[in-house]
Amino acid sequence: MGIFGALTTSVAGLRAQSYALENISGNIANSQTTAFKRIDTSFIDLIPQTGVTNQLAGSVATASRETNTVSGDIQNASVATYMAISGDGFFVVQKPANVADNTPVFNGVDNYTRRGDFTLDKNGYLVNGAGYYLEGIPIDPTTGNPTGSNPQVLKFGSDFLPAQPTTTVSYRANLASYPLTSKHDKSVPGSELLTVADFTVDPTVAGAGTVIGSDSQNFIAESIAGGATTAYDISGSPVSLQFRWAKTDSATLGAGHTDTWNLFYQVDPNATGTDVAWQNVGTNFTFAANGQMSPAVASVTLSSPTVNGIALGNITMNFGASGLTQFADTNGNAQVNDVHQDGFPAGSLQTVAVGDDGRVVGSYSNGRNIDLAQIVIATFNGANFLKRVDGGAFEMTDQSGPAIFGKGGTIKGSSLEGSNSDIADEFTKLIVTQQAYSANTKVITTANQMAQDLLNVLR
């Protein structure tokens, strides 16, 4: 190779170290950039074709070594729509091709990023700090299942969530084996029971028992409160659904008697005269000596009740196999452990948040939290061959292969991934690169001196 070969090799070394310095400077500059992936420098030796016994070290070339699969540290964030990926994969995003009437217009080209600092903009899109719009799969609010398999740009509007009428009431309670009604007298057997003779209309008639307005006071005195819940009609109008329990028979009265209860719901709190005030659900709830229902009544149906003038549809009350019990209770009341229903009024979207399951959850003004979308994670067989673009995003290439869905890591809500560039490591590389650059300049100086000496010999 000779003296002049040494000069050209040293120049190549200077170029290689300059290239490494450029990567190091970029890594240091982006040490605080969200989800930045550093670029390392790979040095490649170039060997000239010589004989086996006369091989030379040759020259040098450089190439970038990607770290797209190396994660940065994940830290908690206070913004509910921030997210990070724990493990492999990228968020699927798009960048608008242009803007028309203050609304972004997309060209359908997907990009991929791990930058998860997404926030909701005025148009209802989730946009990260680099201007990329998040994609995902919308969720059917009725079924809770994704509506497809292909990700699309997510947009959350301000439309109202339609009202849902009450169709089911879940109810769990323990009925005191001896109810302390207003008329009970422990010295008088059966005084704790509802006495039909005290009523103008028999309230215990199976399937048709009612308490009329003129009998309301007697009914309240001979029954115990059973809790309440707010039910909704088809338009979302609320109504208080009040329950009371009345014990109609007791095993303590001797042979032929069984602990039996009737459940009532309030029809009209202002009923007078012959107006219906309370409605019997039409089922006898009987209990064995061990306090369990016998036979078990898993559910009953309230047939299109009208409560306080508001017409409701059929409502199923679910008790479960052992949701109702009759154990001793010194308080002598109905201990309601759970009573809730499935209806709700209409509501508008207030905020959105991202859960650890990767679902975007909308919080509505009616108190409902509804899953709105499922965020997808894309992986690649050749993730380090993705093409970098501005803003911490990547484009697919032939070498990276197409995006693969369903194999990535997990999403952590209210979190952000930091840069994988370590300043201390980059400073160490900087020192080594500086020394190598200086050494190459020394080789040039030495080769030049040798060439000068040769010229002096020829004179």
- For residue 102, the 8-state DSSP code is T
Four-CA torsion 69, 72, 78, 84, nearest 10 degrees: 10
- Residue-level pLDDT at 367: 87
Distance of CA 48 to the CA centre of its chain: 59
Q: Could you give the CA distance from residue 88 to residue 379 in angstroms, rounded to a whole number?
A: 7
3-state secondary structure of 458: helix
- Residue-level pLDDT at 35: 95
Q: Give the CB-side neighbour count of residue 420, counting CA atoms within 13 A.
A: 16
User: Using alpha carbons only, how large is the chain's radius of gyration in Å?
Assistant: 39
- The string of DSSP codes covering 135-155 is EEEEB-TTT-SBS-SS-EE-B
Tokens of 93: 């995003």
Q: Could you give the CA distance from residue 33 to residue 39 in angstroms, rounded to a whole number?
A: 14
Full 3-state SS string of 391-429: CCEEECCCCCCCCEECCCCEEEECEEECCCCCHHHHHHH
Q: Could you give the CA distance from residue 91 to residue 233 in angstroms, rounded to a whole number?
A: 41
CB count within 10 Å of CB 411 equals: 24
Please name the CATH architecture into which domain 168-341 falls. Sandwich (2.60)
Q: Could you give the CA distance from residue 6 to residue 440 in angstroms, rounded to a whole number?
A: 10
Q: Could you give the CA distance from residue 329 to residue 319 in angstroms, rounded to a whole number?
A: 20
CB contact burial 235-270 (16+ within 10 A = b; e otherwise): ebeebebbbbbbbbbbbeeeeeeebbbbbbbbbbee
- Calculate the alpha carbon distances from 380 to 115, 224, 436, 458 in Å: 17, 65, 36, 63
Going from N- to C-terminal start, the domains of the chain cover 2-67+420-458, 74-162+348-417, 168-341
Instruction: Enumerate residues 6+ apart whose C-beta is below 8 A from 215.
Output: 198, 199, 200, 201, 203, 277
- Angle, CA 263 vertex, CA 232 and CA 269 arms, to 5°: 55
Residues facing residue 334 across a β-bridge: 175
- Residue-level pLDDT at 449: 86
Instruction: Enumerate residues 6+ apart whose C-beta is below 8 A from 134.
Output: 91, 92, 93, 118, 125, 126, 127, 128, 153, 154, 375
Could you list the pLDDT tens digit for every one of the 459 residues in the chain?
Answer: 577 778 888 888 899 999 999 999 999 999 999 999 999 999 998 887 765 666 677 788 899 999 999 999 999 999 999 999 999 999 999 999 898 888 899 989 999 999 999 999 999 999 999 999 999 999 987 788 898 888 999 999 877 888 999 999 999 999 999 999 999 999 999 999 999 999 999 999 876 899 999 999 999 999 999 999 999 999 999 999 999 999 999 999 999 999 999 999 999 999 999 999 999 999 999 999 999 999 999 999 999 999 999 999 999 999 988 899 999 999 999 999 999 999 999 999 999 999 988 999 999 998 889 999 999 999 999 999 999 999 999 999 999 999 999 888 999 999 999 999 999 999 999 999 999 999 989 988 888 888 887 788 866
- Residue-level pLDDT at 51: 59
- For residue 159, the 8-state DSSP code is P
Residues facing residue 123 across a β-bridge: none
- What φ, ψ does residue 304 adopt, rounded to 5°? 40, 60
Tell me how far apart the 2 most distant CA atoms of the chain are, in Å: 142
> Whose structure tokens read 């919308």?
138
- What φ, ψ does residue 207 adopt, rounded to 5°? 80, -15
* 457 contacts 124 by C-beta, under 8 angstroms: no
Q: Could you give the CA distance from residue 3 to residue 425 in angstroms, rounded to a whole number?
A: 36
- The string of DSSP codes covering 287-340 is E-TTSBBSS---EEEE-S-EETTEE---EEEE--SSSEE----TT-SEEEEEEE
* 348 contacts 158 by C-beta, under 8 angstroms: yes
- The string of DSSP codes covering 252-279 is GG-TT--EEEEEEEES-TT--TTSEEEE
Tokens of 378: 């894309």
